[in-house]
Every structure is written in structure tokens, then in C-alpha cells.
Amino acid sequence: MIHSIRQKLFLSISLLIIFFVVFSWVLNTHYLERYYVSQKSAQLHDYAREIETLINQQPEDLFLQLELMERYDNLNILVLNNSLELKYATFSRRGPGLRIEMVLGRIQQLKGSDYIEEIALDPFSENRSLNLAMLMKSGDYLLLSTPLAPIQESASIANAFFLYTGIATLLLALLFIFAFSRRFTRPILELQNIAQHMAHLDFSQNYQVTSKDELGDLGQSINSMSAQLSQTIQELQEANARLQKDIEKERQIDEMRRQFISNVSHELKTPISLIQGYAEGLKVNVVQEESEKDYYCSVIIDEADKMNKLVRELLDLSQVETGNFKLVKSPFDLAVLVDKITAKYRPIFEEKQVKPEIIKPEEIMVNADMVRTEQILINYINNALAHVDDRKQLKLMITQQGDKIHISLFNSGEPIPEESLDKLFTSFYKVDQARTRSDGGSGIGLAVVKAIQEKDHNRYGVKNREGGVSFWFELDAAGHE
């Protein structure tokens, strides 16, 4: 079964050419001789009219002209008067007498018509001839005869020649059709291949437009459609990737929120229970000694401070997520702020037996929000104190790098898992979910750092160092925005 358009085109045109070649050969074989005879008949009528004109004019060279006509036009001419007596003949003595006898019956039939035309068989030569008998206006009878053998021979030669040329034409036509069908269908096959690639979402193939016909227009349309589909699918893939990312992020945030709610519930439940219990003990005078009362009050104050810190962090986080906080930037000396914070934390450092190493210039001016900068430093310090190991190493370093001030805080301790480095600054995230309320934060402080730095368009981050972890952030140097 033929399915290829190339094969269909080749077969269709080949059959069409074969049909016309065979049809033409059949026409030549059956009708060429008849056509020759009809043309010869018309010529005989022309000769008859010309001879009648000559006889009527009776020129001196009448017989000479008749002989020339007989010789060059292959005619036999016979002229009889109204008494059927011979006036002129190209036949021999024997021949004309016999032929006259043969045509006398036909001449008798001219009484009712102007001429009689027939194809007769010569009994002596067994050749056919075309005869024309005509009654002229002068009353004489004219008989013209021309042999049909040359006509038959010419028709046979013409038919044979046409058969050979037809076969040669057919072979050449088949070669041409084969080449033409290949060239004609090649662009279609290329377009089909491109369409198949497009069906498999492969838009790397392009049609090389080399013509300005319908195939060229179709190729340009397919190229345009391929480009548009490629762009659309790429945009859909990018949108889908963003959607998947947003969904995953939302899922992670929901999970962290649930964990945070659980942690906050635990963080609030414990101090509330302690405050309630110790307050009730003081109310009913469970303890009598002053030292025990002081202890009860210290516990209540300590738990209230923890609750206050948690509430402040929640308020900061709420402002960050709703975008209701603004940075109030102004030039100030970062070295002075660091000394202030270090002095504030000196009792805590002594309690934890930590001796911080501070490396900074005597004066270093920055353009930043002082309150938010202090909040970042405090969050970093609290985080470092919560995770410092037995080596008790804490190192704060401030350097200027071009138009930026780089602040880093190193604490000795276990490195952070690589998969957690990118998540530390996400809200509610905690590397170790099993930390107790005494040594672990709520997971909000670093998220607040992220929001402040992104609002200030400055960088921040965390790196694992040899023997510990380093948190860092950058500020604009004074004189730079």
C-alpha cells in the first residue's frame, strides 16, 4: 500500500504520461491514415478546380502544365468530353482503355451530382488509389487518381517513429518525475520532521526557507509557531517551577509555624506555670525565710523576662512580615556601639566564663539604623552564647571593605550541617529541634536579622569555620548610601 506523498505523486504523473503516450499512439495507428486521406481528398478537389480553370482558358502549354502537375503531384489525370471520348490521359494505351472502362459506370452516375469520390483497388497492381470524378462546367468529365501506397507507408513510418519516441519520452519523463517528486516532497518531509519534533516538545529544529511560494510561507509559519510554543512552554515551566517553589516554601513555613506554635506554647506554658506556682506560694506564706522569698521572687522575675523577650521577638517578627517597620539611618560610630553592648553583656560573659576577643578600629563610622544594628549584634551574641562549646571562644571582628563595613562574630562549637546553612535565617527554623528552653532560642532572631539586612540592601550570612561557626553582616560606611 502506498502511503508516501512522493510515491503517490510519482505514480500519478507517471500513469498520466503513460496514458497520453498510449492514447496518442492509438490515435496515430487508427486515425492517421484517415487524416492523410481526408487531406489528400481536399487536395484532389483543389487540383480539380485548377485543372478546370486551365481547360477553360485553353493555354498553349495546357498539356505541358498537366504533365508537370502529374509528375510533381503524383496524379493521374483523365479528361473525357460529353460523348465520353478521350481528350487527355496520362495512361498508356492499354492502361487508359481499361481504366476508362472501369470508371465509365462511375461517370454515368455524375448525371445526378457534381462529383464522385471513392477509394478503389487497382486489379493489376493491387494498390489502392483515391479517385475523383467530376463534371466540369464545360460539359467535359475529369477523372483524378492518386495512389494511397505512399500515404500508407508514411503513416506506418510515422506510427513506428512515434512509438519509439514515445518510449524514449516516457523513460525520460519517469526520470524527471522521480527527481521532481523528490525535490517537491523534500520540504514537506522536512516540515513533517519538524512537526514531529514539536510534538515531542523539541523546538530546536528550524525550517530553512529557500522559496517564496506556499511551502516557504508554511515553513515561516511553522518556525514562528515553534518559537512561540517554545517561549510559551518555557514560561509555563518557569511559572510551574516558581509555583512548586512557592508551594514548597509555603509548606515549609506552615510546618515551621506549627513547630513554632508548639514551641511557643511550651515556652509560655512553663513560665506561666512557674510564675503562678511561686506567686501562689508567696500569697499563702508557704515560705517564711527571707532568702527563700528572694528565690521565689527571682524565679518569677526571670520567667517574666523570658516571656517579655519572647513577646518582643514576636512583635518584631510581626512588623517584619507585614512590612510595617522602617529603617532610620544616620551616621554613628560602630566602635562605640560595640563597646556599649560588650559592657552590657560583661556579667553574662563572666557567668559563662567567656572572654570575648574584640578586633576593631578605634573609630569606625557607619551609616545605618543604630537600634536595628544593635538588635542584629545582640541576636548574633545571644546565638553565639547559646552554642559556644567548652573552649569558650568568642571573637568579634570589624573591618572595612571598600564602601562596606564587614562585621563577623565567631564562636567555637560544632559546625552547622550544610543542608541547614541556607535555612538558618528562615522564620521559626531551628537546627536542633530537641534543644531545651534554657539553651535554645525561639527561631525568630535570625529571621529578624534577614529582614533588616534586606530592607537595608546589605548582605548577611553564616559560614562554618575551622573549630566553629561565624555569623556576619555588612553596613554602609559613612558617606555611602
**Phi and psi of 80, rounded to 5°?**
-120, 145
Specify the DSSP class assigned to residue 95: H
Mark 315-352 as b/e (b = at least 16 C-beta within 10 Å).
ebbeebeeeebeeebeebbbbebbeebeeebeeebeee
| Contact (Cβ atoms closer than 8 angstroms) between residue 465 and residue 410 | yes
Judged on CB neighbours under 10 Å (0-12, 13-18, 19+), 444 is buried
Strand partners, 101: none
Position 3 scores a pLDDT of 58
| Overall pTM > 0.75 | no
Tell me the pLDDT tens digit for each residue of 236-283: 888 888 898 889 888 877 776 777 677 667 667 767 877 888 787 777
When pLDDT is averaged across residues 301-313 and rounded to a whole number, the result is: 77
> What phi, psi does 480 have (nearest 5°)?
-125, 145
Helix axes 445-456, 370-387, angle to 10 degrees: 140
Predicted confidence (pLDDT) at residue 440 exceeds the cutoff of 90: no
Point out which residues pair with 477 in neighbouring strands. Answer: 366
Check pLDDT > 90 for residue 399: yes
Give dist(CA 310, CA 267) in Å, integer.
Answer: 8
What's residue 468's pLDDT?
92
Beta strands 460-465; 468-477: pairing state? antiparallel
Pairing of strands 355-359, 393-401: parallel
Check whether 398 has a pLDDT greater than 90.
yes
CB-CB neighbours of 370 under 10 Å: 17
List the one residue out of 167, 170, 158, 165 whose CA is nearest residue 28: 158
The residue among 249, 273, 266 whose CA lies nearest residue 422 is 249
Which DSSP symbol is given to 139? S
Question: What is the tens place of the pLDDT at every residue in 73-108?
Answer: 777 888 887 777 777 776 543 333 335 555 555 565
- Residue 421 has a pLDDT of 82
What value does the mean pLDDT of the chain take?
Answer: 77
- Indicate if the alpha-carbon torsion angle 361, 367, 369, 373 is positive or negative: negative
Asked whether the beta carbons of 406 and 479 are under 8 A apart, the reply is: no
Give pLDDT tens digits for 325-336: 788 899 999 999
Bridge partner residues of 78 (DSSP) = 89, 143
Point out the least confidently predicted range of 87-101, 281-295, 389-403, 439-453: 87-101
Helix (H, G, I), strand (E, B), or coil: what is residue 413?
A: coil
**Domains of the chain, each with CATH number or no CATH:** 5-155 (3.30.450.20), 326-477 (3.30.565.10)
Q: How far apart are CA 314 and CA 208, in angstroms?
A: 64
* CA 417 to mean position of chain CA atoms: 44
Cα 80 to Cα 52, 147, 369: the distances in Å are: 12, 21, 143
**pLDDT surpassing 50 at residue 132:** yes
Q: In whole angstroms, give the CA distance from residue 403 to residue 364.
A: 12
Is the predicted pLDDT of residue 443 greater than 70, yes or no?
A: no
Least confidently predicted of 35-49, 334-348, 464-478: 35-49
Mean pLDDT of 452-476: 92
**Closest Cα to residue 200, out of 221, 226, 228, 237?**
226
Contact indicator for 376, 449 with CB cutoff of 8 Å: yes
What pLDDT band is residue 298 in, cutting at 50, 70 and 90? confident
Cα angle, residue 271 at apex, residues 267 and 274 outer, rounded to 5°: 145
Dihedral angle, C-alpha 352, 354, 360, 364, nearest 10 °: 10
Report the candidate in 174, 106, 119 with the shortest Cα–Cα distance to residue 147. Answer: 119
Q: Is the predicted pLDDT of residue 1 greater than 70, yes or no?
A: no
Q: What is the mean pLDDT of residues 189-205?
A: 72
Q: pLDDT digit string (tens) for 136-147?
A: 887 777 888 787
DSSP bridge pairs for 409: 396, 471
CB-neighbour burial class of residue 456 (10 A; exposed 0-12, middle 13-18, buried 19+): buried
- pLDDT band, residue 24 (cuts 50/70/90): confident
CA pair distance 244, 249, nearest whole angstrom: 8
